[in-house]
Amino acid sequence: MRISSLLTLTSALLMAPTAVSAAGRLGFTLGPQRPDGSCKEQRDFEEDFDAIKAQSGSTLVRSFSSSDCNIAQTILPAAKAKDFQVMLAVWPDTEESFQKDKQALQKYATEEFAKQLYGVIVGSEVFYRGNFTGEQLLDKINDIKRILPKGVKCGPADTWNKLADGTADAVIRGGADLFLVNGFAYWQAQPITNASATYFYDMASAIAHIQTVAGGPDKTPEIFGGETGWPSKGGTNYGPAEASDENAATYFSQSVCGMLTWGVNLFYFSAMDEPGKPDSVGENGQSANEKHWGAMTADRKAKYDLSCK
């Protein structure tokens, strides 16, 4: 690992005085469906939360929508019952999906759940896909921000390179108060031996740029690693990035626990295997199996040590 050299390079930028000794907060991405594809209900989320907390100590999850499977309605009461916090999301890509998620938030993200709703992500990798300019997404973020209970943060999730190269600057200057930075050494076709160096480089690049545009660490909005992870056995290899249980465990302990030690909050993709998830097509044009990215199996058993101890 090259943590110490990167730490020297960027520690002045990264560490606000208040955050010197704090370890980052770990969260997990969580899907709205049971392994059989049916929609989770409140009690399913409660069981998810029990397993996540028991295995990792985490009390934070994020979703990719607010309306899929009626997730805002079911997950917020579950979070209240189990003392969890949640980030919900809005899919702004079409007017229809934007309105569906917005209406779900208006209906269910009420003051009653203001403590459970940590934030709302507006847009997942829209800059990576080239769908919006910074100004266009900022309008959507401000639209959602207006309907949220006071104190609930709001901002975009995008790939590290798009948050580092200026594409998102209008959103940073516009005052979004939450940024999620996605970084996958796996999708950068890195061998596991260079995976944590790559993840640290990705995160440091995005964080440094956001801090610079925001005008310094004390003016910087809250930043989380939005998604990172590594597939275990059964997943697809991506060039030199090989899916295996051993590599997934190594990635978790070196890259995920390492980044938390560095003081950065992050979400691991994903909490559990999703057997119903369709294959995706990678940048190499080949179909990739996305069913085996869970830190836990579909029946909620940890695949490796998730305690970061």
Ligand X SMILES: *[C@@H]1O[C@H](CO)[C@@H](O)[C@H](O)[C@H]1NC(C)=O
Told to check if 74 binds ligand X by CB under 6 A, we report no
The pairing of strands 60-62 and 178-182 is unpaired
> Residues 136, 95: contact at Cβ < 8 Å?
no
Told to check if 251 binds ligand X by CB under 6 A, we report no
Q: How far is CA 264 from CA 20, 23, 237, in A?
A: 11, 7, 28
With CB under 6 A as the contact rule, the residue among 73, 103, 131, 237 that binds ligand X is 131
Told to check if 94 binds ligand X by CB under 6 A, we report yes
Minimum CB–partner distance for residue 228 and ligand X (Å): 13
Tokens of 308: 């970061």
Segment lying near ligand X (by CB under 6 A), choices 63-71, 123-131, 167-175, 218-226: 123-131
Told to check if 194 binds ligand X by CB under 6 A, we report yes
d(CA 14, CA 35): 39
Minimum CB–partner distance for residue 47 and ligand X (Å): 35
Q: Hey, what amino acid is at 300?
A: R
Minimum CB–partner distance for residue 29 and ligand X (Å): 21
Segment lying near ligand X (by CB under 6 A), choices 53-61, 139-147, 176-184, 196-204: 196-204
Told to check if 284 binds ligand X by CB under 6 A, we report no
Told to check if 133 binds ligand X by CB under 6 A, we report no
> Residue 42 or residue 194: which is nearer to ligand X going by CB?
194
> Residue 45 or residue 184: which is nearer to ligand X going by CB?
184
Segment lying near ligand X (by CB under 6 A), choices 16-24, 83-91, 190-198, 210-218: 190-198
Told to check if 55 binds ligand X by CB under 6 A, we report no
To the query of whether residue 41 is one of the catalytic residues in this protein, the response is no
> Residue 234 or residue 240: which is nearer to ligand X going by CB?
240
Told to check if 197 binds ligand X by CB under 6 A, we report yes
Minimum CB–partner distance for residue 198 and ligand X (Å): 4
d(CA 171, CA 286): 33
Angle at 89 between CA 124 and CA 251, to 5 degrees: 60
Told to check if 253 binds ligand X by CB under 6 A, we report no
> Residue 188 or residue 232: which is nearer to ligand X going by CB?
188
Tokens of 59: 């009390």
Out of 41, 47, 125, 290, the active site residue is 125
With CB under 6 A as the contact rule, the residue among 28, 91, 127, 201 that binds ligand X is 201
> Residues 292, 234: contact at Cβ < 8 Å?
yes
To the query of whether residue 95 is one of the catalytic residues in this protein, the response is no
d(CA 63, CA 77): 15
Told to check if 207 binds ligand X by CB under 6 A, we report no
Segment lying near ligand X (by CB under 6 A), choices 78-86, 173-181, 197-205, 214-222: 197-205
By CB under 6 A, name the binding residues for ligand X: 93-94, 129-131, 194, 197-198, 201
Residues known to be catalytic: 125, 227
